[in-house]
Amino acid sequence: MKYYSTNKQAAMASLQEAVVKGLASDKGLFMPETIKTLPNEFFENIETLSFQEIAYRVADAFFGEDVPADTLKEIVYDTLSFDTPLVPVAGNIYSLELFHGPTLAFKDVGGRFMARLLGYFIRKEGLKNVNVLVATSGDTGSAVANGFLGVEGIHVYVLYPKGKVSEIQEKQFTTLGQNITSLEIDGTFDDCQALVKSAFMDEELNKHLLLTSANSINVARFLPQAFYYFYAYAQLKKLGKADKMVISVPSGNFGNITAGLFGKQMGLPISRFIAANNKNDIFYQYLQTGKYNPRPSIATIANAMDVGDPSNFARVLDLYGHSHSAISAEITGTTYSDEQIRETLQSVYQETHYLLDPHGACGYRALKEGLKDGEVGVFLETAHPAKFLETVEGIIHDKVTIPVKLQEFMKGEKKSLEMSKDFADFKSYLLSL
């Protein structure tokens, strides 16, 4: 499979090039040249297959031309060592719980898959050490670090803003050791991201080191997120309720929802999508006006969605030939204030005892308000509520049980390297490696 750039100014790339580079040389995002449709027979029997079997069929459509079948199967089965169950919440609304992986958030799927695929290319090509740089405001760093932990030939550098991530989040990447190094930057998340961007642009650095990124611009991280949309359909079909399935996705950088849009193009019968935003409603405004106006992000209690210029928007445009009407026919949007998120989380807990996290609360509310007669809604519950402990406990006035996996991280010893936000310092550190 060849990959083109959404900016159409760069040469086509192989899967390996797309994964190792992350971003195309014209700064566009890589897109697979064709999106294969899966046969009817697959959808007819999908409810009889396991999550791993379903995911392998989807992975084969994406990567089967470039990765040997037994290797791909191993990568898929290793990535999905946990379940993503569909849980009824209220009426015709179901939660697809994507938080049963190592760091209790959906990014575990893409993080682990990318690590294993990159590891395969490194072994196959005998590449020199690959350095993954990742800037994080909390969730991405932990998923990427845990996904890459112990993968030979790869070293991960997590850059995070000193004092601006929660203790639980910080422990999930600073306690790992091995091939994971945490850099505690005296600055904001934007400063961390700027350092990573400058490193990718710096010629001298790129001559010395093989650098890549592991956020959702990377095809190896974002495409595997399609797996669980198929599995959600399979689970709903088993209940006899999959005829008019609506999917609601709490969205920030739009990698997760874009993977679902790919699923639909592969033949997955999804009626329509809802992109649930917090107050960072750039996509919502685009749907209303046809104009895309990125702006600086604002802080909310659903902070993994605090994105002012969603990086995967270019992929959504490309998928629908830049047609605003085609995009609006497939996706509607919603936007919620912190107050509305709190209210939703609180009332759902009170009425049903289901505990949402602040991101899932946006997804749930969009269905509660927007589901039509005959439709069945699934929202992606993107993280475990215990990851946002103080916020959630403050809303429900009750204790949240912390899963054992999180407790284990809390016991570890934090190790990080403090650094200024000056690029010169970061660069000389990387050059000294």
Ligand X SMILES: *Cc1c(COP(=O)(O)O)cnc(C)c1O
Query: Residue 207 catalytic?
Result: no
Q: Which of 135, 145, 214, 215 is nearest to 175 (CA)?
A: 145
Q: Which is nearer to ligand X, 131 or 251 (CB)?
A: 251
Q: Which is nearer to ligand X, 175 or 278 (CB)?
A: 278
Q: Which is nearer to ligand X, 67 or 252 (CB)?
A: 252
Distance between CA atoms of 24 and 287, rounded to whole angstroms? 27
Q: How many CB atoms lie within 10 A of CB 244?
A: 17
Q: Which is nearer to ligand X, 16 or 277 (CB)?
A: 277
Tokens coding 343: 């209210």
Least gap, CB of 137 to ligand X (angstroms): 9
How many residues are present in the chain?
433
Q: Which is nearer to ligand X, 304 or 400 (CB)?
A: 304
What would you measure as the largest C-alpha separation in the chain, in angstroms?
62
Q: Where are the alpha helices (DSSP H) in 158-202?
A: 167-174, 189-201
Q: Which is nearer to ligand X, 101 or 250 (CB)?
A: 250
Distance between CA atoms of 50 and 44, rounded to whole angstroms? 14
Q: How far is CA 254 from CA 213, 283, 306, 373, 393, in A?
A: 17, 9, 11, 27, 28
Least gap, CB of 273 to ligand X (angstroms): 12
Q: How far is CA 220 from CA 17, 18, 81, 136, 276, in A?
A: 11, 8, 18, 18, 24
Distance between CA atoms of 54 and 388, rounded to whole angstroms? 31
Catalytic site residue from 107, 237, 264, 368: 107
Least gap, CB of 161 to ligand X (angstroms): 16
Least gap, CB of 142 to ligand X (angstroms): 9
Distance between CA atoms of 39 and 94, rounded to whole angstroms? 27
- Please provide the distance, in angstroms rounded to a whole number, between the alpha carbons at the two ends of the chain: 35
CA angle 177, 179, 185 (to 5 degrees): 70
Task: Enumerate binding residues for ligand X (CB under 6 A).
Answer: 105, 107, 139, 216, 250-256, 304-305, 359, 382-383
Least gap, CB of 353 to ligand X (angstroms): 21
Distance between CA atoms of 77 and 281, rounded to whole angstroms? 36
Least gap, CB of 382 to ligand X (angstroms): 3
Q: Which of 157, 186, 212 is nearest to 18 (CA)?
A: 212
Residues identified as active-site: 107
